[in-house]
Amino acid sequence: MERLQKVIAYAGVASRRKAEELILEGKVKVNGKVVKELGTKVSNSDVIEVNGVKLEKEDKVYYLLYKPRGIISAVTDDKGRKTVTDLFKNVPERIFPVGRLDYDTSGLLLLTNDGEFAYQMTHPKFKIDKTYVARVKGVPTIEGLKKLQRGIKLEDGKTAPAKVSMTSFDEKAGKAICEITIHEGRNRQVRRMFEAIGNPVVKLKRERFAFLDLVGLNPGEYRQLTKHEVKLLRVLAETGKIE
Instruction: Look up residue 84 and give its DSSP letter.
Output: G
Q: Where are the alpha helices (DSSP H) in 113-157?
A: 115-122, 142-150
Signed CA dihedral, 36, 37, 42, 45: sign only: negative
Residue of 102, 104, 114, 129 marked catalytic: 102
Any catalytic annotation for residue 102? yes
DSSP 3-70: EHHHHHHHTTSS-HHHHHHHHHTT-EEETTEE---TT-EE-TTS-EEETTEEPPPPPP-EEEEEEPTT
State residue 220 phi and psi, 5-degree precision: 95, -10
Q: Which residues are catalytic?
A: 102
